[in-house]
Amino acid sequence: MKAMLLDKVCDLRVEKAPLRMVDLPEPVPGPGEALIRVRACGVCHTELDEIEGRTLPARFPVILGHQVVGNVVQVNGDESDLTPGTRVGVAWINSACGQCGFCRFGKENLCPEFRGTGRDVNGGYAEYLTVPVEFALAIPDQFSDVEAAPLLCAGAIGFRSFRLSGIRNGDRLGLTGFGASAHLVMQLVKYRFPDTRVYVFARSERQREFAISLGATWTGSIDATAPVPLHAIIDTTPAWQPVMEALRNLAPGGRLVINAIRKEEFDKHTLLSMDYPAHLWMEKEIKSVANVTRSDVTEFLQLAAESGLKPAIEEFPLADANAALMGQSLGDGRGARVLRMD
């Protein structure tokens, strides 16, 4: 099979093509696993964190990619309803132990044995992958393969962030950064809470214009001051400065939800300028998002289908994965980038 392989940690300021195209044997599903023929795989900022070592893969070489849509080829075992040809999605959550307290109480995203697709096991930047059958998730029929891919992480993690924000209909919600996840959160908010006004902070004019086209009440730069204090803000950026600016824009009792698996190191000195009265006083809260559960993914897919949500997509062939990643690192796209397996 064709696959794009990562051999080592790279500095993307220097290395512009960290992945190499290789021919590998088709993987063999172990007991309780399914073999999936990949049709599309979304590109996520987490892949940049893996490449640059902030979220270190379990081993090298590794195949990245955790927003995977494909068809079942083979199932190893008799305990699953999956049959060859069934279309499924594979998300960031590749497996969890199922036995610990977190798993038993619906928090498998916090399981100490959580394994991430494309980090701890090979992912979807390839023509085939394997997955435990219980972590192969149904995809609503109305989405094409390419449309469904970003819903599995950008959408699902945005949905989890939205719930953790505690936002209510009529509240004021801020979105810091306006990429794949935030543009889906915007559509979700408009469907669930039509009286909620959304304020978008983004570094590029192109993203701010995109936000307005999707119904944002106001847009500004990352360091802008919103016209009114906000009840909650979801931060989807890789940097520290937006955290500080978001805290400053919160209303008393407001909550900041940080939707990022890691933050980059280059600007963490901005934390030293934290001013307690301006940033944290008046019972402001900070909540981080860690991974997703299967229920996050399935619930969001159902909501997306009900609401008619449509991701904005930029498509790339598998061979152009490096170009897609470089575009992701610049952060100036409209919506999500998706690799297709032609």
Which residues of the chain are modeled with pLDDT < 50? Answer: none
CA distance 270 to 266: 10
Which pLDDT does position 342 carry in this prediction?
78
Report CA 305 to chain centroid distance, whole Å.
18
Reference 291, options 66, 8, 100; nearest CA is 66
Q: Phi first, then psi: what are they for 323, rounded to 5°?
A: -65, -40
Let me know if 91 is exposed, middle or buried by CB neighbors in 10 A (0-12, 13-18, 19+): buried
Q: Give 2-152+292-340's CATH code, choosing from 3.40.50.720, 3.20.140.10, 3.90.180.10, 3.40.50.300.
A: 3.90.180.10
- For residue 197, give every residue at least 6 positions away whose Cβ sits within 8 Å of its Cβ, in sequence order, or none: 172, 173, 217, 218
| CATH 3.40.50.720 placement within the chain | 156-288
User: What is the model's pTM?
Assistant: 0.94
Q: What is the dihedral of CA 94, 45, 168, 286, to 10 degrees?
A: 100
CB 191 within 8 A of CB 134: no
CB 66 within 8 A of CB 117: yes
| CATH 3.90.180.10 placement within the chain | 2-152+292-340
Please state which CATH number belongs to domain 156-288: 3.40.50.720
Which pLDDT does position 29 carry in this prediction?
97
Amino acid in position 205: E
- Write down the H helix ranges in 252-313: 276-279, 294-307
Reference 26, options 78, 63, 68, 79; nearest CA is 63
CA distance 289 to 46: 13
Which pLDDT does position 281 carry in this prediction?
84
CB 201 within 8 A of CB 177: yes
CB 109 within 8 A of CB 291: yes
**How many CB atoms are closer than 10 A to CB 180?**
32
Which pLDDT does position 139 carry in this prediction?
97
